[in-house]
Structure formats: structure tokens, C-alpha cells
Structure 1
Amino acid sequence: MKPFKYCLTTALSLIAISGAGHVTASELQVFPFPQPVRYALHNDDYTVRVRVPGGRWNDLFEYKAKVDLDNPDSEASMTFFNFEGPVEVSVQKNKGSFRDVTIRPTSKGIKPKIEDGTVYFTLTKPENLSIEFDKDTLNNLHLFTQPIRKNLPVKRITPASPYDIGNVAIPDTSTPVVYFKPGVYTGDIRLKSNTTVYIDGSAVIKSPVLMENVENVTVISDGLFVDAGQTIIRNSKNITIDGTIHINQKHGTLACFNSVNVKEIGIRSIGGGQWSDGLGHFACQDVEIRNVFLRTSDDNITIYNHRWDTWGDSRNIQVSEATLWADVAHNVMIGIHGNTPSAHHPDAEVIENVTFRNIDVLDHDEDEPDYQGAIGLMVGDDNLVRNITFEDWRVERIEDGKLFSLQVLYNQKYNTSPGRGIEDITFRNIHFTGKGAFAPSLIRGYSPDRKVRGISIENVTVGGRKLTGAQPDLLEIGDHVENVSFK
């Protein structure tokens, strides 16, 4: 194994920007790996280095990351750092030769150059990327970056086992600030109200973060969650999760239940286990999801209502600047779980006022026709789904599936009744390359009183062909559908 040379660095270099009339500073922050994970988590497929232009190269630690449940022996790589201003990255492939390399999302416009078998490219702002040699997506390199943290709280305390944060002795400060210093942590992390957590970039967390019946909690992370279990937000409000990285998730990354005013920012997750969903939401309201990278073997982002002991509506959810990669299932799944009215719970539920804007889809793969759809509205359990906008999407590939599927249905595996309807859905500026083995998109209602209505399809293309109506190879419009318009 190659020698490791790591240090926590903050390097400065002044880089003149041609024609800009000013000088921009570059700043780089890399994190040492905790020694206990040195052999257990290292992947030697790549050697990755980073530097400020003209500065010293910093060697990064490449982590093993399981991907794609359909190919359980696959093992990708992941590495991360923080920076501001331009930085240069080099990637050396250590096993076998290669002919070409692709950096995705391609919309980022990052063009690598190859010199003596090593790939070089420059980043001018933080991005979350997949670096693929000869189109290999099973053993690729994931590169996650974010801005350097500024103005972190000065007063910090370090938790002690079992990491029950609310029980740690707090200094004389109105808002507890808990610092997870470099090291490996196990044991559930239960947060109490009015708590701020900072996770060092050299900390590895191997346990879930639990926020239940709390308010005013912020988790800021430069560190790494490894097979940590789902982060849980339940019956809470004013919650922020900022910057967490998750790998080797056997189940979901985050599940939010009956919570209000939740921010999920900068979350990056790679999961190859069964039911390894990304970000799941059950009857949550006023949610912001921004700048996330989710590669999972189940749905990337879900919005549901009632399930288990959770009841209520979902509304006011904004998703933006996301990169989604579903090795299995949907990139977005909305509406399958809800409340069939009963004597105990008489109210049917609603999902409304949701926007997905500026989204890159790297792939969607679903073998079962009934569950296909990079964008899937599968509306059952008397849910009504309305006022949803999908805007500015770039879909690079569909291995097996559909671009979108809008169905009011009764799924006997999950539902106790069909959905009430789908209303006022907008698809705007969505462009799918046509690569892969895709099936026509689908719009279908359930019955005369459980319809799909008010669908606006504006500037949607597949392989350069614009959707202008029902077309056998592009779009199927079934029964109980009203008022579909095309622009």
C-alpha cells in the first residue's frame, strides 16, 4: 500500500483572474483519516491529490463505497475536501490502463486533461462529482467538496460515551455547542433542543443521529458517516442538517416524520444496500433540500404522508441544485403512502406545493415496469397530490425505466385504497439525452372520480425530440386524464 501523507492544512495562494481586474485567494482544507479506519476503509483503486495552483500537492484518503445492489460486488471510491478559489486536482488510476475519462454531471462543464496516465482538472467552486474511466460507473471515484467553514462556534465541548448529547455537562452558554473531534464514534447520538453540533472532517461516525420531539437543532459536518444507520427527525421543528457525507448505508440516509421547518443542505450519500433510500419525508412541511448528491439503491428523494405512526399532510417542500443517481428505483417518488380514512383517522391527506428545480439525474434503473419513473408520482391511499413543479432537469441516462410516470393507482402491496387524484403538475425545461433503454413516460388516472388533471409539459425533450402529445415511443396517456397541455 502506498504511504500516507496527510495533514490538516489551510494553504493560501493568490491567483490572478485574467480580465477580472482583481485577485482571488485560493484556500484548501484537507482532513487526515482516523487511524482505526486506515486499512478497513481504504480503496487503492485511485490516488487523488489536490493543491492550490502552484502549491504543494496534498494526498487524499480514498474511502471504499459500496454501490448498486444489482451488482453487490461492486466497490467504488470516495474522497472529499473543502476549498475556496481555484484548486487543481489530479487522479491516478492504479489498476489497469484507460482510454478516456468523464466527469459528471456533464452540465458542470469540467474538462479533464490526461498527461502520462494521470488525469488533471481545475475546480473553481465546490462541486460533487463522479469521475468515470472508460464509462465504468461501478468502480468510479466520487469527489465531494464544499466551502471551508467560517465563523464556527468557539465554545465547544467534546461528548463522552454514550454520546447522549443532552446529558453532556454544558459550559456557561445559552446554546450548547458539541464538537466531535477527530476519531471514530459508535453509539446512538440523541440530540436535545437548542443544540449545535460540529463534526470535524477527521471524525468517522458509525451510529445514527436521532432528533425526536426537539427544536432548534443544527448539525454542521465536515466529517463522514459510515454505515451509520438513518438520521431520524421526528415531531420536531427548526432543524438543520448541513454537510454530512454518508457511505455504505445499508438502509436510508435520512427520514423525516411530522416535522416543520427542516433544512437538508449539502448532504452527500452513497448506499448500496437494500432499502438504502436517500432522503425520506413523511407528513413534513416547510422543507428545504439543497445542494445534495444522492446515489442509492432505492429512491433518492421521497415525499409521503401517513405511514406507521405518522399522520398528516406534506406541503411547501423545495428541492434545488441536486444530483440524483438511482442504481435501483426512482430518483423522485411521491405519494404512495397516505391515510385511507377510517373512524380513528377520518381525514384523507394532501401533498402540495412542491418544487424540484435545477436537478441533474445521472441514472435511473428500475426493472419492474409498475415502479418505473425517474420522476414517479404513484398516488395511492386516498392521497391527493397537487401543485408540483419539476423545472430545469438534465437527465443523462436511464438504464431501464421511464422519464416520468404519473399514476393514480391502488397498489395491493402498499395501499389500502387508490389515490384521490393528481392535479396541476408542471414539467418545464426537462431534457433527457435518450441514452439507455427507456420506456415511454406514462400519465394515467384510476377512475372517473380519481383522475389526473391539469398537466403542463413545457419544453420537455427526449433525445432532442420535443414532447408535443401522446407518442407511442415517448409518452402514453391512459384513461381518466384531463387537460394535458404542451408548449
Structure 2
Amino acid sequence: MTDVQSIDVQSIDAPGADVRSGAAPSIGPRRPEAVDRLVVHPVPDGVPLNTSFSVKARTPGGDWRAVPVMRARTRTVDERTGAGVVRNSSVANLDFTGTVEVEVTSSKGAIGSARIRPLSYGIPYEVGGDTVHLSLTEPRNLSVEADGDLHDNLHLHANAIEEPRHEESDPDAPDDAPHVIRFGPGIHTVPDEVLKVPSDTTVHLAGGAVLKARVEFTHVENARLTGRGTVLGPDGGILVAFSRNIEIDGVLVLDPRSGYACTIGQSRQVTVRNLHSYSSGRWGDGIDVFSSEDVLIEGAFLRNSDDCVAIYGHRWDYRGDCRDIVVRDSTLWADTAHPVNIGTHGDPERPEVIENIVLSGIDVLQHREPQIPYQGCLALNAGDGNLIRGVRIQDVRVEDFARGQLINLRVMANRYNTAPGRGIEDVYVRDLTYDGTRAGTAILAGYDADRPVRNVTFQNLTVNGTVVHDAMEKPGWFLTTDMVPMFANEHVHGLRFLDAVTAAATTTPEITGVGEATATAGYAFNHLVTATALPTSFGAEGLPRGLAVDRATGLVSGTPAEPGIHTVTVSATNAVGTATGSLELTVHHP
């Protein structure tokens, strides 16, 4: 039970706007079953704005409405001095269903060329004078760039309209209702700039709400942070530590003064959905996961001044293995360091395992790292006694980046750890695409004979339109790795490059992992189906209402609706056959 009156909240109110229209669209496709609806959230006075772009939006045939543009800051490193170069950029947010038209106007005058990324979305647009016009029919996180400027660009977050949970939207609930802390439009502060969220509590940041505080979930369970509001400028925006059943959904973390946008330490059953973060600090990571299990990161847009997503073992007070982590359908932009970094930190005295990691449906927009030992859009760097195993990287699209490597798999020790890792094994990279000219030579390297890289399979690796595989046409004295290009040292064993149709496995899968799991009714749940022999699809039958399986990743996720005990048949399939197993799933009362 939460007594919201015990929290001293200071607010500056601001109004919101909700516009609906049923008129026919004038530009772009439209799903006839969707009702056109647009919500534009205010930005309260006192929040920094940026004037490089003005934005307006409308439903087809409706009136144009101004969309506020907030200031975000980015940071790159001057390669000559090591000094940080901080620049202003722009962020605009809107919510919609159906179709929305958006116009983005540059204050610098006529636009010679424009680009909307991720390029994989294929967003159609028109440029007229100083304005880019586009139309959307589904939620997207986009970068709108004029004349190749990657710093003074506009980040557009076109979200789905939020569907409030019952406890957030109950019109009869008093303002001090237990279990819910509500922040309406306006600027809010709390004592010591830290909001400690109790168990069984939802913190809801409405659109237009700006909270100047770190949000902490420490030693709690069954708690949430939701809404379309902003966490602005605290030290380390969101902290989840020693907790269970935590959900973060829809918020923007803007320019933490120090620390990461979101830290997950020694916790279980954590879901981070549709998080947007921007940072300009020296250690300005996006989402870092330490010694945790059953974590889902999805729909994120992370532009950070250090690693975007990092997955580690021990650091600080967090200890233990890290497993069953899924990052999917997200966009990563690292102005420094890695878009993805796995394995650097651990405990050499009590070695840990980082396993069952899935990266799926990822767009990488930038990687800019001048230091060769810290390069890699996708970096699996086993240090501090860590063993990295069971990693699946699939359907990842890397656009041309400023400086670095496409992939870096190394057992190593660097200045951020005290010992090399134990190894990297069983890595399956499928449908990885890179289009560009600036990638340096990728590196795969074991540390020594006892700490190797083993059993790495690339399938349908496509570099500038060419599929790199062991049977490709090339000079007979060339290695397949030369065609990437990639360097693999003598401590790399079982490295394969396959085309799209060659079977990656020669044996039927075997289901691995636990045979039982627990969930809580009304709270997000994640369970990753894992198997040997490189499965290409997964299944789950007998799931309770509210849960579904992602056949591409094996992730069972959702929010179970009611308590009960369920026997679920899970499956994994490859070209040879299908394996099944039984999962006993117990859904408890909240």
C-alpha cells in the first residue's frame, strides 16, 4: 500500500490536447479498420526546447497542431584531445492511431536532401523547400535528418496511444488512491531528487509530465513506471535493483547528469518497453543489465554517449549469472562506444556465466569509437572470468557508421576489468546486414588455448548486398573472413559462414533450461525457450490467457490475466526436426 500523500510532490501544471478525425487520408496508406486519432502532449515551461525544427501533425483532413520540440544533448569525443563535444539536438513526441501526417520544418531554410531512418522502415516522404512531409500508419521511432546532419537532427517518437490500466484510469479513484502515484502534465520534483517506488505500486507519468528525479525500484516487487512523460536530468534516470516483476513502459529519459538511463541489477522478470533515452555524459549508457534473469527490452530508441545496451555479470553490489535476456525491435545509436556490449564486467574470483542472450529485429544507426580495443557494433567481450554462451543475433540491420567494427567477439582483458574471460561459445548470427564503407576489420579472437571462441555460425551475413559464405566465389587462397573483412585468430574454433538456405544444424534440437516457472497475474512475464542445435523457430501451446510466444526468438511474454497452474508444451524446430518439452507455469495472485 502506498500513501501518495507522504511524497512531497511539487508541480507546475500544463494542459494537454486530444484531437480526433474520421476524414479520408490525403497522403499515404491507411488501415481502414483503425480510427484516426492524434494526441499531442504539452511541454511545460522550464523544460529546454530546441528551435532547429518546428513540427506539426494532423489526422488526415484535420487541423494542423503544433508538436513541441524538446532539446536533447549528444556527446562525441574529439579524437585529438579526448575532450567531449556536446551538441544540441531535437526530440518531438506524439501519440496516434490510424493515420497521422507530420510536417518537419527546418529553421535553417531550404533542405537540399533529407533522410528518414531507420532506412529499413522505408518511410515515404516528400521535401518541399524547408519542410519534410511524411505520413505514418503505425508507431515508429525515427530520425529525420536534413542535409546529412547527424547531430542537429530531429528525433520523432510517434507512439501508439496509451491504453491505461484500470488502476491508472479509474475515474472514481481519489488522488491519493493506494498503489498509484500519478503525475499529471507539468514539472514535478521530490525530496533529494529520488522517487523510491514501493512494492505493488504503479507510477504513472502522464503525457506532458516532467519528473526531475531518479526513479528507484530497490528490493521491491510488482511495480511499474508507465506513461508518456519524461524523466529529466537526474543522476541515473531509472534504477531497478534486487527486485522482481518490474515494468517500465513508454517514458523518455532525457540527459541524465551522470550514470545510465536505466540500470537493472540482480533482478528478475523486468520488462522495459518503448523507452527512449538521450545522454551526453561521459558514462552515458542507455540500458545496462547486471546479474539478472528474464529481462525483456523491446521497442526502445536509445541514443547514448556510451554503450546503448550492455549486459554484464558482477559489478558493484550486483552478483550472479546473467541469463535469458531478450532485446528486440529496437533502434540503437551510439555516439561513442558500442550499440551492444556483452560480457566486460564480472567476478574473476567467482566466475559467472552470461547465457541465453537474444538480439532480434535491431537497427543500428551509429557507432563511433576511435579506440580499436573498444570497437564493435555488436561486441561480445568476455572479461573478468565470464563465460559467454548461447547468444542468438538475428534480423539485425547495421547502417553505415562513422568509425568502428561491425562485430567484435573477443576473450580479453582491458582497463575496465582485471582478468580475461573464460571463453565465448555457441553463437548464432543469422540475417545480419551491413551496408556501408566505413567499417574496419571485424575481430574474432580467443585469449589462449584454454580460453577460446568456439562454435560461431554466421548465416546469411550480407555485406553491401553480397552474402558471405564458405562456398562463395572468391580466389582460392582467400579466406571467407577476408570477404567480410574479418580477422579470426588461432584460438577461434568451429567458425562457419553459411548461405541463407544451407541447414545450420545436423541434429534435432533438445530443449534446455528450466521445466517450471512462476508468474504473477496482472504483471508482465518473460520466459525464454532455449534449445540446442540452432533452432530457427519456436512454439508454445497451452499458454494462459494474456501470454504469447514469439516464434522467431522463443520468448514467451505478456501479462497473464488470472491465477492458475498451466502445463505448457514448448517446442524448438530446425531443419532436422522438432523437439518438445513441458513447462509447468504457475500464475500466482498479485
**TM-score, normalised relative to structure 2:** 0.75
The Cα of 1:7 is off from its aligned counterpart by 4.6
Asked whether the 8 Å contact 1:16–1:22 carries over to 2, the reply is: no
- Structure 1 residues 26, 473: CA separation in 2 closer, same or farther (over 3 Å shift)? closer
Distance 1:15 1:382 in 2: 60
* Corresponding residue SS for 1:207: strand
Alignment of 1:224-243 (within 5 A): 224-230=230-236, 231-243=238-250
Q: Which residue of structure 1 lines up, in the alignment, with residue 376 of structure 2?
A: 373
Alignment of 1:266-281 (within 5 A): 266-281=274-289
Aligned-pair identity (%): 35
CA deviation string 1:439-480 (max 9, x = no partner): 111111011111100000111122223333221761101121
Asked whether the 8 Å contact 2:115–2:146 carries over to 1, the reply is: yes
Distance 2:109 2:129 in 1: 14
Determine if the alignment matches structure 1 residue 196 to structure 2 residue 199.
no
Q: Which residue of structure 1 lines up, in the alignment, with residue 46 of structure 2?
A: 36
The Cα of 1:200 is off from its aligned counterpart by 1.1
Q: Which residue of structure 2 lines up, in the alignment, with residue 115 of structure 1?
A: 128
Asked whether the 8 Å contact 2:340–2:379 carries over to 1, the reply is: yes
Asked whether the 8 Å contact 1:462–1:474 carries over to 2, the reply is: no
* Corresponding residue SS for 2:120: helix
Determine if the alignment matches structure 1 residue 154 to structure 2 residue 165.
no
Q: Which runs of 4+ in 1 moved over 4 A?
A: 16-23, 155-158
Distance 1:307 1:20 in 2: 49
Asked whether the 8 Å contact 1:268–1:292 carries over to 2, the reply is: yes
Q: Which residue of structure 1 lines up, in the alignment, with residue 424 of structure 2?
A: 422
Q: Which residue of structure 1 lines up, in the alignment, with residue 486 of structure 2?
A: 475
Asked whether the 8 Å contact 1:282–1:310 carries over to 2, the reply is: yes
Asked whether the 8 Å contact 2:43–2:68 carries over to 1, the reply is: yes
Distance 2:270 2:482 in 1: 40
The Cα of 1:398 is off from its aligned counterpart by 2.1
Q: Which residue of structure 1 lines up, in the alignment, with residue 542 of structure 2?
A: none
- Structure 1 residues 447, 26: CA separation in 2 closer, same or farther (over 3 Å shift)? same
Determine which of 34, 45, 51 is the counterpart of 2:58. 51
- Structure 1 residues 240, 52: CA separation in 2 closer, same or farther (over 3 Å shift)? same
The Cα of 1:362 is off from its aligned counterpart by 0.4
Asked whether the 8 Å contact 1:303–1:333 carries over to 2, the reply is: yes
Q: Which residue of structure 2 lines up, in the alignment, with residue 486 of structure 1?
A: 497
Q: Which residue of structure 2 lines up, in the alignment, with residue 142 of structure 1?
A: 155
Determine which of 34, 37, 56 is the counterpart of 1:24. 34
The Cα of 1:12 is off from its aligned counterpart by 3.0
Distance 1:19 1:449 in 2: 57
The amino acid that maps onto 1:84 is: T
Q: Which residue of structure 1 lines up, in the alignment, with residue 353 of structure 2?
A: 350
Distance 2:17 2:131 in 1: 25
The Cα of 1:421 is off from its aligned counterpart by 0.6
The Cα of 1:15 is off from its aligned counterpart by 3.7
- Structure 1 residues 138, 22: CA separation in 2 closer, same or farther (over 3 Å shift)? closer
* Corresponding residue SS for 2:482: coil
CA deviation string 1:175-201 (max 9, x = no partner): x11110122122211000000111011
Asked whether the 8 Å contact 2:23–2:62 carries over to 1, the reply is: no
Alignment of 1:214-293 (within 5 A): 214-230=220-236, 231-250=238-257, 251-293=259-301
Asked whether the 8 Å contact 2:58–2:100 carries over to 1, the reply is: yes
Q: Which residue of structure 1 lines up, in the alignment, with residue 18 of structure 2?
A: 9
* Corresponding residue SS for 1:208: strand
- Structure 1 residues 63, 151: CA separation in 2 closer, same or farther (over 3 Å shift)? closer
Asked whether the 8 Å contact 1:14–1:24 carries over to 2, the reply is: no
- Structure 1 residues 430, 473: CA separation in 2 closer, same or farther (over 3 Å shift)? closer
Distance 2:196 2:300 in 1: 24
- Structure 1 residues 299, 213: CA separation in 2 closer, same or farther (over 3 Å shift)? same
- Structure 1 residues 260, 151: CA separation in 2 closer, same or farther (over 3 Å shift)? same
**TM-score, normalised relative to structure 1:** 0.90
Asked whether the 8 Å contact 1:69–1:274 carries over to 2, the reply is: no
Q: Which residue of structure 1 lines up, in the alignment, with residue 320 of structure 2?
A: 312
Alignment of 1:321-340 (within 5 A): 321-340=329-348
Distance 1:258 1:69 in 2: 31
Distance 1:78 1:20 in 2: 26
Determine which of 66, 70, 73 is the counterpart of 1:63. 70
Asked whether the 8 Å contact 2:263–2:289 carries over to 1, the reply is: yes
Moved more, 226-235 or 131-140: 226-235
Distance 2:401 2:43 in 1: 36
Q: Which residue of structure 1 lines up, in the alignment, with residue 467 of structure 2?
A: 466
Determine which of 390, 402, 407 is the counterpart of 1:387. 390
Asked whether the 8 Å contact 2:16–2:185 carries over to 1, the reply is: no
The amino acid that maps onto 1:243 is: G
Moved more, 462-471 or 425-434: 462-471
- Structure 1 residues 369, 53: CA separation in 2 closer, same or farther (over 3 Å shift)? same
Asked whether the 8 Å contact 1:331–1:364 carries over to 2, the reply is: yes
Determine if the alignment matches structure 1 residue 79 to structure 2 residue 92.
yes
CA deviation string 1:132-175 (max 9, x = no partner): 001101100000121111244234565xxxxxxxxxxx53x5xx
The Cα of 1:380 is off from its aligned counterpart by 0.9
Determine if the alignment matches structure 1 residue 102 to structure 2 residue 112.
no
Q: Which residue of structure 1 lines up, in the alignment, with residue 146 of structure 2?
A: 133
Asked whether the 8 Å contact 1:333–1:377 carries over to 2, the reply is: yes
* Corresponding residue SS for 2:169: coil
The amino acid that maps onto 1:124 is: T
Distance 2:134 2:29 in 1: 21
The amino acid that maps onto 2:332 is: L
- Structure 1 residues 481, 189: CA separation in 2 closer, same or farther (over 3 Å shift)? same
- Structure 1 residues 405, 459: CA separation in 2 closer, same or farther (over 3 Å shift)? same
Asked whether the 8 Å contact 1:245–1:268 carries over to 2, the reply is: yes
* Corresponding residue SS for 1:74: strand
* Corresponding residue SS for 1:298: coil
Distance 2:442 2:106 in 1: 39
The Cα of 1:94 is off from its aligned counterpart by 1.0
Distance 2:432 2:321 in 1: 28
The Cα of 1:73 is off from its aligned counterpart by 4.2
Distance 1:212 1:399 in 2: 38
- Structure 1 residues 334, 120: CA separation in 2 closer, same or farther (over 3 Å shift)? same
* Corresponding residue SS for 1:252: coil
CA deviation string 1:84-141 (max 9, x = no partner): 1100001111123320111000111112112343211101011000000011011000
Determine if the alignment matches structure 1 residue 442 to structure 2 residue 457.
no
* Corresponding residue SS for 2:370: coil
Moved more, 374-383 or 244-253: 244-253
Distance 1:390 1:50 in 2: 36
The amino acid that maps onto 1:31 is: H
- Structure 1 residues 21, 355: CA separation in 2 closer, same or farther (over 3 Å shift)? closer
- For structure 2, the 5+ residue unaligned runs are 1-13, 78-83, 470-479, 499-590
